[in-house]
Structure 1
Amino acid sequence: MSGFPGRPDNRTGDPRRSYQVRPDELEGAVRETLSRQVVLARPLGADPAGQAIRRANRIRRRRTAAGLALATVTTVLLSVGMAQLGAGPGQDGTPIVVIGDPGPSSRPGPTASVRGSTPSPGTSAALITSETLVSADGRRLVLPDVGPAERAQVLPGGGGWLVVSTPTTAGRSLWVVQNDGLVQVLLAGAGPIVLADDSRQVAWRDGGDLLMAGVVGTQLIGVVRTPAPADAAPVRFVGDSVLVRLDPADGGHTLWRPAAGQLPEAVDQKTLNVYGGLPDGRLVGQISTIDPGGTCLAVLDPTRHLDPVRTGCGPDLSQDGVGGVSADGRWLLVNGWVGKVSRSLLVDLQGLGPDTAAVSAGPPMTGAIVWSDESKASYLDDTGKLVRVDVGEVRAGKPASPAPVPGVPAGERPVLVTQF
């Protein structure tokens, strides 16, 4: 490496390049810089048009997403007319189908009539069925496009009825019939179906499971499912619990509390039938005794696995399970025998004990028993005639007699409901 005299490092001396600029070169550089600034498009500090366009794009994207979601829900629930409820992997049996009505615009709407019904325009008369409802006071109402039905209950607020079909090879159905005549199917292909007294809940059997749901308008909500023994079936609601009979050929019930999970292991072994509840929440039912074929009436405690707290073993009771308790808990109508004659029996539950007695109230009962007040009840006999029971008259030795329901066609059986 070579160095330069007089310098301790390797830096050179004076610079070789000249920094002198001619005036014409300086002028050209300034002009070029200015021209570039004019050509370059700088963004504005505030761009109202751009902001509006971007805002519109965001709104359009949100609306598109919401529309797609709504369209998906509508397609699943309504457009095809049905959706499978509670389907899950590994479940056996025919799936329960919840049917959604596309709306009244897709088909003619039937109208409930007290004189009869005619097919809706454009509907085949061969496909039309109807069901006659009769109130406790004998009034008649015909519901077209419904039936054959086994029982019916008034919807909350009186907006229509919940109607349960008779059993068929395809299972049972549950309809909602509104006051304007619109009919909608909530369940099809179900096993046994039971309704809460206020029509706000429904329980049913589906394959190997029991299910419960709330009824809101024309929809089932909050469906809960639990595995159940092969022959178990819902019997009635006890508050928010479901009374389940474990074997129709034998005694034994349990209470399923959906909020608590599966069916409890502790079960009752004596109860054959449950007829209704008392104001304090206890139940009135029929229990087996140690005598072969012997049965007694009993007050059951649902908080203690249906243990009997009071019994009465006088009346000769049928085991068909048909019976009803008055709202005040005083009277029970139940099927039984007077000698060898099948009759409905009136039992004073206040006298339930060793000397329990029953008096003949009328012909045997079928279907629902409707207590219109604390001393009057109505039911249908096996021919479909209406029987009105007055407690005072029955206790005075005057059993009720059946009377035909006016206007019911021959061979058609009406369904008794609480009111219209």
Structure 2
Amino acid sequence: MSRPAAGGDNRTDGPTRPFAVTEDELEQAVREAFARRVAVARPLVADPAGLAIRRADRSRRRRTLTGIALAAVATVTVSAGMAQLGQQPGRPNHPTVVLGGPYASSMPEVTPQPSAGPQTDLGRGEVDLILDDVLLTASGQRIVLPDVGRAAERAQRLPDRAGWAVVGAPTAAGRSLWIVLPDGAAHLLLAGARDIVLSPDGRQVAWREGTDLVVAGVVGTQVVAAARTPAPPAALPVGFAGDTVLVRLDPGRPGHALWRPAAGPPRQAGDAALHVYGIRPDGLAVALVSAGTPRRPCVALLDPARDLASVRTGCGPTLTGDGAGGVSADGRWLLANGKAGAQAGAVLVDLDQLVPVPVIRPAGPPVAGPVAWTPQGTAHYSDAAGALVRAEVGRVLDGEAARPTPVDGLPAGRHPVPVGGDNPS
């Protein structure tokens, strides 16, 4: 067997690249290979940092999209609310319930300063006061509340020093309810309600919403467990007697109803009450009623447990029908607008001596806002001129009517708002 000729083979006589490699050249090649591998960064099979960053990016994108969606919903809601306001001025149908949401906090801003007269009285630490946008506590703490304080109509201290509940004055958009915490943070609970009333302990709230009456609990900075019922067009909540809501059926006529949510819709109870000033510790309602012959305004103690049946009625003092006034913490005294003889103004009525003729004394200038009583028997209120009045029961009984004391630094048209409830010194 003969070997094929070399011309028919594709192999050459020798390699085109020499295989002879020196040790130095091999070492250099290895170094270059490792250098190229190090220069190319390979991703780890498990990269915790990268995973966290990617998750954060996804969360940020989701929050952005959620914010855009909420803004769109809010725009639609506000537009619908404005349409409702255009159709029914001053009577929106659906208040906004906000669960939490801090709005303001204490800030070291310039605040209105009381004049030299009330500065001495305020130093006694009797009641808290709202002066424009400042909440001045009985202990001297100043909490700046932009918008909240300026819109306040009345306020009360919450139990266990948990803060304050502030009800706003009526506006075209309705009323608002705020909870102010001791650190100054304010939380909006209700907005757009027609009327708002709080229980004496601040744990319940009732309001008018469109064609319904609504009652709910207040826990911290939240409104919880709401119940509602249809109500006559003019019916308004005016107070609480325990868990029962007192409802005035028509502000222009006598007559109230009692609403116990667990027992069904409001039930008319009595037809003589013109106004309810408050509830005594024994549970009796202090009311202005139409009684006697001929019919005239009289002071009465009504029992909510017996459908507002009259327990005692005293006719004698001529009380005005504006409903301004308040009952002392011990339930003994009523401070209300009326006449003592020919003198018109605030009068002090002894509720323990209603019959046969109530004992009354001139107490000071007419009441032009909420009345805040101290446990010691001193009433604080503002008059029509925006001055602060301090009526002490002992001095009033001795024939010394209270005098108004101007409060310097308040803008024109604004009145000091004394805060009800237990005010610790």
Alignment of 1:132-151 (within 5 A): 132-133=134-135, 141-146=143-148, 147-151=150-154
Q: Which amino acid in 2 is paired with 1:186?
A: L
* 8 Å contact from structure 2 (residues 258, 266) kept in 1: yes
Is the 2:98–2:222 contact (alpha carbons within 8 Å) kept by the matching residues of 1?
A: no
Distance 1:230 1:110, change over 3 A: same
Query: Which of 106, 111, 118 is the equivalent residue of 2:106?
Result: 111
Q: Against the structure 1 CA distance between its residues 302 and 360, is the aligned structure 2 distance closer, same or farther, given a 3 Å change threshold? A: same
Would you say the 8 A contact 1:136–1:417 is kept in 2?
A: no
Contact 1:164 1:193 in 2 (8 A): yes
**What is the aligned partner in structure 1 of residue 84 from structure 2?**
none
Superposed, which structure 2 residues align to 1:146-185 within 5 Å? Answer: 146=148, 147-185=150-188
Question: What are the equivalent positions in structure 2 for 1:13-412 lying under 5 Å apart?
Answer: 94-100=93-99, 109-111=104-106, 115-116=110-111, 131-133=133-135, 141-146=143-148, 147-264=150-267, 266-289=268-291, 294-412=296-414
Q: CA RMSD of the aligned region, Å?
A: 3.3
> Quick one: distance in 1 between partners of 2:75 and 2:277?
35
Residues 16-50 of structure 1, C-alpha deviations (whole Å, 9 max, x = no match):
xxxxxxxxxxxxxxxxxxxxxxxxxxxxxxxxxxx
Greater mean deviation of Cα atoms: 371-380 or 357-366: 371-380
Instruction: Look up the equivalent residue of 1:226 and give its one-letter code.
Output: T
Q: Distance in 2 between matches of 1:83 and 1:205?
A: 23
Matched to 1:220, the amino acid is V
Task: State how far apart, in whole Å, the 2-side matches of 1:113 and 1:299 are.
Answer: 47
Amino acid at match of 2:230: P
CA distance in 2, matches of 1:134, 1:382: 21
| Contact 1:148 1:165 (C-alpha < 8 Å) held by counterparts | yes
Give distance in 2, aligned partners of 1:414 and 1:164. Answer: 14
Question: Which amino acid is 1:208 matched to?
Answer: T
1:152 & 1:83 partners in 2: Cα distance?
A: 32
Q: What TM-score results when the alignment is normalised by the length of structure 1?
A: 0.70
Provide the rounded CA distance (Å) in 2 between the counterparts of 1:170 and 1:381: 27
**Offset at residue 305 of structure 1 (A):** 1.3
**What is the CA–CA distance in structure 1 between the aligned matches of 2:206 and 2:74, rounded to whole Å?**
22
Shift of 1:406: 4.8
Between the two proteins, the alignment pairs up a number of residues equal to: 327
Decide whether the 8 Å contact of 2:286 with 2:302 is kept in 1.
yes
Measured in 2, the distance between the counterparts of 1:81 and 1:400 equals 50
**Gap change, CA 1:182 and 1:141, over 3 Å in 2:** closer
1:99 and 1:283 mapped to 2: Cα distance? 32
**Contact 1:82-1:100 at 8 Å conserved across structures:** no
Which structure carries more relative contact order (alpha carbon 8 Å, separation 6+)? 2
Q: 1:244 to 1:386 in 2, by over 3 A?
A: same
Structure with greater Cα Rg: 1
Gaps of 5+ in 1: 1-66, 85-91, 118-128
Amino acid at match of 1:263: P
**Range 340-349 or range 384-393, more displaced:** 340-349
Q: Which amino acid aligns with 2:98?
A: I
CA shift for structure 1 position 219? 0.8
- Deviation, 1:363, is 0.4
Gaps of 5+ in 2: 1-58, 78-90, 113-130
Once the 2 structures are TM-superposed, how far is the Cα of residue 242 of structure 1 from its aligned partner? 0.6
- Give the match's secondary structure for 2:178: strand
CA distance, structure 2, for counterparts of residue 271 and residue 337 of structure 1:
20
Aligned partners of 2:260 and 2:75: how far apart in 1?
28
Which residue identity does 2:304 align to in structure 1?
Answer: P
SS of the residue corresponding to residue 392 of structure 1 reads helix
Shift of 1:135: 5.7
Q: Aligned equivalents of 1:185 and 1:298: distance in 2?
A: 37
Cα distance in structure 1, aligned partners of 2:312 and 2:258 = 20
